[in-house]
């Protein structure tokens, strides 16, 4: 091997060694502390919160869903979650508070406010540093209202929406025994169920307050929005509480241009 070949080999070896060393370098990491509180800093016991789960989600571009990177659960009374050796980057922070029955009763899910979606909580991890985010404020989760229904013709046989005048169902949830509306949703007759034969009624503004929700009314309407038959009314035995789901079942029997709703299932229900 002459001097030129020796120098070339030495240079090649140096480049290879540098490349291997660079590849073996660990990804830069840092620590992140996420403090949280309920409302104005009230006691966890007032909302029956036992444990709090904090999740870091990698922020994805465009419409892609954020991906969970790491999560941890801590007693609510600790008031913060600590993440060590987290890859450097910016994360969306999801916080959920669970009661003794494992229901999520408080969280920081952004709600739709006058058509504008609130900003999500963000945390940034810096290389070799411990960073504390702003305090994440938790609010009560709304209740959920699920409904399902059967359609019948004048002979009592199963019918399809295209065969009857019923076009939509106006569902309204109330507080104060039916005096004050909380949530109003119009459900198309031919809407596809979202939860195992149930329709999970949309509540993007999180208006269905489980602490006071106690009454439901369902009205049958035609394509012009006119009421075309008897409604059903459900008086709940008690407010379900945050994070709980209320399930209601009824039927619609259509004779000519009239479609009367009738209660089915175990819930107390009266018909006009």
pLDDT in tens, 127-143: 999 999 999 999 999 99
**Mean model confidence pLDDT for the chain:** 88
Confidence of residue 202 (pLDDT cuts 50, 70, 90): very high
With 90 as the cut, is the pLDDT of residue 115 above it?
A: no
Percent pLDDT > 90 in the chain is 74
Token pair, residue 92, equals 């969306």
pLDDT in tens, 100-110: 999 999 999 98
Are 29-140 and 144-271 in the same CATH fold? Answer: yes
The CATH label, of 3.30.230, 2.60.40, 3.90.120, 3.30.310, for the domain at 144-271 is 2.60.40
Helix ranges (H only) for the chain are 3-23
Token pair, residue 207, equals 């208006």
Architecture of the domain defined by 29-140: Sandwich (2.60)
**Which residues does 240 contact at the CB level (< 8 Å), separation at least 6?**
143, 210, 213, 246
* Whole-number pLDDT of residue 18: 45
Query: Could you state, in order of their start, the residue ranges of all structural domains in the chain?
Result: 29-140, 144-271
* Whole-number pLDDT of residue 260: 95
Helix ranges (H only) for 174-250 are none
The predicted model scores a pTM of: 0.82
């Amino acid at each position: 091997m002459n001097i030129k070949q020796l120098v070339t080999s030495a240079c090649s070896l140096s480049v290879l060694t540098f490349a291997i060393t660079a590849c073996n370098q660990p990804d830069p990491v840092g620590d992140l502390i996420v403090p949280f509180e309920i409302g104005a800093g009230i006691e966890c016991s007032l909302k029956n919160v036992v444990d709090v789960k904090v999740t870091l989600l990698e922020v994805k571009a465009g419409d892609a869903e954020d991906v969970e990177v790491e999560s941890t659960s801590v007693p609510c009374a600790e008031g913060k979650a600590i993440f060590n050796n987290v890859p450097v980057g910016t994360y969306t922070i999801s916080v959920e508070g669970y009661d003794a029955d494992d229901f999520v009763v408080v969280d920081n899910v952004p709600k739709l406010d006058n058509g504008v979606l609130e900003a999500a909580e963000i945390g940034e991890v810096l290389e070799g540093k411990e960073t504390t985010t702003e305090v994440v404020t938790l609010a009560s989760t709304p209740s959920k209202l699920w409904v399902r229904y059967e359609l019948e013709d004048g002979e009592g046989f199963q019918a399809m929406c295209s065969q009857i005048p019923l076009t939509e169902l106006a569902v309204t949830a109330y507080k104060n025994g039916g005096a004050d509306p909380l949530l109003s949703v119009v459900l198309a007759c031919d809407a596809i169920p979202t939860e195992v034969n149930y329709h999970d009624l949309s509540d993007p503004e999180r208006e269905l307050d489980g602490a006071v929700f106690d009454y439901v009314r369902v009205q049958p309407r035609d394509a012009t929005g006119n009421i075309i038959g008897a409604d059903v009314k459900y008086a709940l035995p008690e407010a379900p509480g945050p994070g709980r789901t209320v399930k209601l079942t009824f039927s619609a029997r259509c004779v000519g241009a009239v479609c009367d709703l009738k209660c089915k299932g175990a819930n107390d229900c009266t018909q006009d």
